[in-house]
């Protein structure tokens, strides 16, 4: 994917997504010993960066495809994002969700206009159900992270960040399914001279870290992390981009995620979800390496169940 692909994508989706603010905090900078620029995708529509990729993927479909709608399986932010993106573009969204998904998540999808289809809570059932819907309705399946148009869309957050702060030394972002970091890596490649993209990943779901070492896509046998957005693994479309452009992934412990999250809440007075805290925790983890550097940190989202916090 070229620089022009990314620029075109940005121009395409701009009317449908927020240009999110970049926040800074003297206190946090002091604590980190570096200059941090927080890209606040927690303020994005539907509360996470995911709407960028969802919007681009839908807009790249043909008129005929759009008329038949889109389908995905997700119990997280992509479910809400695809629903809202589809609503904005006046097309239909089918969202396959495991039957044990929290009611609050189902309601969020319904509120954004998505149609919820429940299935057994297994990966196989989710895929079978999504395939069935695609077949019977003609809807196009949109993968939450392993889709080139989704990856381009997610890269527009980094593009915005670099357009305001072109001299960043690093961008650190969470790594889950790989869509965000692949897109961000493309943005850094095309829109900066020297900015390196680094991933933050929970130790409890360090498939991407292991994938970079082994050179093939690894999975997690378990994923006991509060960063629920990062339990997934990389895909065939984003892994080659990540392999080429991302040279480092920093793993963090659960306690480090919680501490980082609480620090942001208390000091910056903004709500970020655990997955976002992983990126900031990674910066705190490797303070020596980041000392006095200019670092963009992508706050991927702010969808948290405030009735069930880790602190």
**If binding is defined by CB under 8 A, does position 141 make contact with a second copy?**
no
Toward a second copy, which CB reaches closer, 150 or 272?
272
Tokens matching residue 114: 């998505």
The residue among 41 and 206 lying less far from a second copy, judged by its C-beta, is 41
Window of 54-62, 67-75, 176-184, 265-273 that interacts with a second copy by CB under 8 A: 265-273
Residue 127 binding a second copy, by CB under 8 A: no
Check binding of 47 to a second copy (CB under 8 A). yes
Binding a second copy (rule: CB under 8 A), the pick from 42, 72, 80, 189 is 42
Per DSSP, 301 falls in state B
Site for a second copy in 155-214 (CB under 8 A): none
Q: How far is CA 41 from CA 29, 124, 130, 255, in A?
A: 20, 31, 28, 23
Nearer to a second copy (CB atom), residue 142 or residue 264 = 264
Q: Catalytic residue at 75?
A: yes
Contact 200, 224 (CB under 8 A): no
How many other C-beta atoms are found inside a 10 Å radius of the C-beta of residue 136?
9
> Minimum Å distance from CB 287 to a second copy?
20
Q: Which of residues 272-291 bind a second copy (CB under 8 A)?
A: 272
Cα–chain center distance at 284? 20
Task: Residue 234: name the closest of 285, 191, 199, 261 by CA.
Answer: 199
Q: Find the shortest distance in angstroms from Cβ 303 to a second copy.
A: 9
Least Å from the CB of residue 30 to a second copy: 11
Confirm whether 92 is a catalytic residue.
no
**Local structure of 272: helix, strand or coil:** coil
Whether 306 and 276 have beta carbons less than 8 Å apart is answered as no
Token duo for residue 27: 């206190």
> Looking at 63, 124, 193, 306, which residue binds a second copy (CB under 8 A)?
306
Angle at 16 between CA 12 and CA 18, to 5 degrees: 110
Q: What is the smallest separation between the CB atom of 36 and a second copy, expressed in angstroms?
A: 16
Per-residue HEC secondary structure of 13-73 comes to HHHHCCCCCEECCHHHHHHHCCEEEEEEHHHCHHHECHHHHHHHHHHCCCHHHHHHCEEEE
Rounded to a whole number of angstroms, the minimum distance from the CB of residue 135 to a second copy is 35
Site residues for a second copy, 14-33, by CB under 8 A, read 21
Half-sphere exposure of 251 (CA within 13 A, CB side): 12
The answer to whether residue 89 forms part of the interface with a second copy (CB under 8 A) is no
Nearer to a second copy, 26 or 124 (CB): 26
Least gap, CB of 6 to a second copy (angstroms)? 26
- CA–CA separation, 73 and 95 (whole Å): 6
Q: Which of 248, 270, 293, 294 binds a second copy (CB under 8 A)?
A: 270
Give the residue numbers annotated as catalytic, written as ranges.
50, 75
Site residues (vs a second copy, CB under 8 A): 21, 42-43, 47, 262, 265-266, 269-272, 302, 306-307, 309, 311
């Amino acid at each position: 994917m070229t620089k022009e692909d990314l620029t075109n994508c940005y121009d395409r989706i701009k009317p449908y997504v927020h240009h999110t603010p970049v926040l800074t905090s003297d206190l946090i900078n002091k604590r980190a010993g570096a200059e941090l620029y927080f890209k606040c995708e927690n303020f994005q529509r539907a509360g996470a960066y995911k709407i960028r990729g969802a919007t681009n993927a839908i807009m790249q479909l043909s008129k005929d495809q759009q008329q038949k709608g889109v389908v995905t399986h997700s119990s997280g932010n992509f479910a809400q994002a695809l629903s809202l993106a589809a609503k904005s573009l006046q097309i239909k969204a089918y969202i396959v969700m495991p039957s044990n998904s929290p009611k609050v998540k189902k309601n969020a999808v319904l509120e954004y206009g998505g149609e919820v289809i429940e299935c057994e809570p297994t990966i196989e059932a989710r895929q079978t159900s999504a395939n069935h819907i695609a077949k019977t309705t003609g809807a196009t399946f949109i993968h939450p992270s392993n889709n080139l148009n989704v990856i381009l869309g997610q890269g527009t957050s980094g593009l915005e960040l670099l357009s305001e702060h072109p001299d960043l030394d690093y961008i650190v972002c969470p790594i889950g399914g790989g869509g965000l970091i692949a897109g961000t890596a493309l943005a850094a490649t095309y829109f900066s001279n020297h900015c390196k993209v680094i991933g933050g990943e929970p130790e409890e779901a360090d498939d991407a870290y292991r994938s970079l070492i082994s050179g093939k896509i690894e999975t997690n046998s378990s994923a006991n992390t509060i960063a629920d957005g990062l339990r997934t693994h990389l895909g065939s479309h984003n892994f080659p981009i990540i392999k080429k452009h991302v040279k480092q992934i920093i793993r963090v412990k659960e306690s480090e995620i919680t501490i980082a999250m609480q620090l942001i809440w208390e000091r910056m007075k903004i709500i970020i979800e655990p997955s976002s805290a992983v990126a900031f925790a990674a910066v705190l983890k490797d303070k020596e390496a980041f000392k006095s550097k200019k670092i963009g940190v992508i706050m991927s989202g702010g969808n948290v169940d405030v009735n069930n916090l880790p602190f």
